[in-house]
Amino acid sequence: MPIDVDRTLRILIVDDDAVDRRICRRALVHLEPTPVFLEAQTAGEAEKRLREQPIDCVLLDFRLPDMDGLELLGRINGYPIEHRVPVVMITGADDVSVAVEAMRHGASNYVVKDNDGRYQTLMPTIVQHALRERELHLAGWRDEQALERYRIDLSELAQRLMSTEKTTTRQLAQMLHDQLGQTLAAIRLGFDAITASCRATAAANAHQEAANAQRQAARLSELIDRAVREVRQVLVTLRPPLLDEQGLLAALDNELRAHPLARENVELRLEPAIAIARARWAPDVEYAAFMIAREAIANALRHADPGCVRISLDGDDRSLRLSVADDGSGIVFGVSRPGHLGIVGMRERALAIGADFVLESIPGKGTTARLEWRAA
């Protein structure tokens, strides 16, 4: 049981010799907080006491009638960490090698019963030390537990955010396509009709106003074309084409072919492992991997001035490995860039699917973003 500083100290003395038990009690009676002593003459009795109530420290004689002390020590150390009790092994002067064994079996410390009784003066310090060590262990264990809980909470939160993002972008994409896209298409038809009629008017009357109207209509026509192109581009950004229908590899291939930042002197190379030609992963894994690759490629093209960007993809239905490597300038770390969220976003997307994400960069040599996902 965890040590509670507000309550008395419970010390269990496991020894079949009543005189030795009394010596232990006398040696420890001045400990702070005031100790309460419980006693057991056998290993069986000791285990019963440990089950019945919280004990802070066990003083364990090596020779017991029903079990040797090392075996009982092994059992106590098998308890779950939050119920583990520090054990101080007590051996006779002729059993010193047992002390060594006890330490190897996880005893907190040992006391050798020397004939002139000096061990009695050492005992309080040894027990206090064991208690402190136990408290430190427990504190470390609690911190680890808290950290693990925090990591799980964070991962769940990120997962929820990503899934909300996906739903929202889908809805937005749908609305843009179904509503704004349709409206623009209708405007296009309307203007085409007006332009045709202006042309006819101008031909018949050769009026200056008709010619002006015609020029304006031509200008508007260009704007409409541009709006249609922009809506298409927004749709591509919001909803990676081919990802749902044909999978990650096809979507990445498509992304590279039509990359808006691609330049002639930059080679964009997709290098899938042969075995994954038709591989598919869960939709959230494919989506996160695609968005991470998209950001890493965009970063390479925008910031690194690379000669080549290589995207490799590997894995099977239980794992996925993606890397985006450029041979450009490398990242200058340690510079604060508020509002630049690409790298943060890549990490969050990886966290949301329980994957590992690493960004490695060597100045002048380039940058590699690596994603590694394994099925739980």
List interacting residues with ligand ATP (CB under 6 A).
Answer: 299-300, 302-304, 326, 328-331, 337, 340-343, 367
- Interior/surface letters 314-340, b for 16+ CB within 10 angstroms, e for the rest: bbeeeebbbbbbbbbbbbeeeeeeeee
> Three-state DSSP class for 226?
helix
Instruction: Please count the residues of this chain forming the interface with Mg ion, following the rule CB under 5 A.
Output: 2
Angle, nearest 10°, between helix axes 248-257 and 283-299? 20
CA atoms of 125 and 132, how far apart (whole Å) = 10
Dihedral (CA of 158, 159, 164, 167) sign? positive
When the beta carbons of 106 and 330 are compared against ligand ATP, the nearer one is 330
Q: Return the residue nearest ligand ATP (CB atom).
A: 342
Query: Least distance (Å) from ligand ATP to the CB of residue 5?
Result: 47
Does 299 bind Mg ion (CB under 5 A)? Our answer is yes
- CB of 109 or CB of 299, closer to ligand ATP: 299
CA quadruple 341, 344, 348, 350: dihedral sign: positive
Q: How far is the CB of 229 from Mg ion (least distance, A)?
A: 23
Among the listed residues 275, 292, 295, the one whose alpha carbon sits nearest the alpha carbon of residue 372? 292
- Stretch binding Mg ion (CB under 5 A), from 64-72, 85-93, 109-117, 335-343: 335-343
**Of 81, 14, 9, residue with least CA distance to 44:** 14
* Nearest distance, CB of residue 259 and Mg ion, angstroms: 14
φ and ψ of 210, to 5 deg: -65, -35
Longest CA pairwise span in the chain (Å): 130
3-class state of residue 92 by DSSP: strand
User: Taking the complex as a whole, how short is the minimal distance between the CB of residue 347 and ligand ATP, in angstroms?
Assistant: 10
Give the one entry of Mg ion, ligand ATP, none that residue 175 binds, where binding means its C-beta sits below a cut-off of 5 to 8 angstroms depending on kind.
none
Which segment (143-151, 208-216, 235-243, 342-350) binds Mg ion by CB under 5 A?
342-350
Pick between residue 136 and residue 341 the one whose CB is nearest to ligand ATP: 341
Taking the C-alpha atoms of residue 262 and residue 267, their distance in angstroms, rounded to an integer, is 8
At residue 204, the 3 state secondary structure works out as helix
* 342 is a contact residue toward Mg ion (CB under 5 A): yes
User: 24 is in the binding site of which of Mg ion, ligand ATP, none (Cβ under 5 to 8 A by kind)?
Assistant: none
Residue 296 CB, nearest approach to Mg ion (Å): 8
From the CB of 105, what's the least distance to Mg ion, in Å? 55
Cα dihedral value 247, 249, 250, 254, nearest 10: 130
- Nearer to ligand ATP by Cβ, of 35 and 366: the residue is 366
**Residue 214 touches which of ligand ATP, Mg ion, none (Cβ within 5-8 Å per kind):** none
Among Mg ion, ligand ATP, none, partner that 41 touches (CB below 5 to 8 angstroms by kind): none
Shortest spacing between CB 184 and Mg ion, in angstroms:
30
Q: Which is nearer to Mg ion, 330 or 342 (CB)?
A: 342
DSSP strand pairing (35-40 vs 109-113): unpaired
Q: Rounded to the nearest whole angstrom, what is the least distance from the CB of residue 293 to ligand ATP in the complex? A: 12
- Contacts with Mg ion by CB under 5 A lie at 299, 342
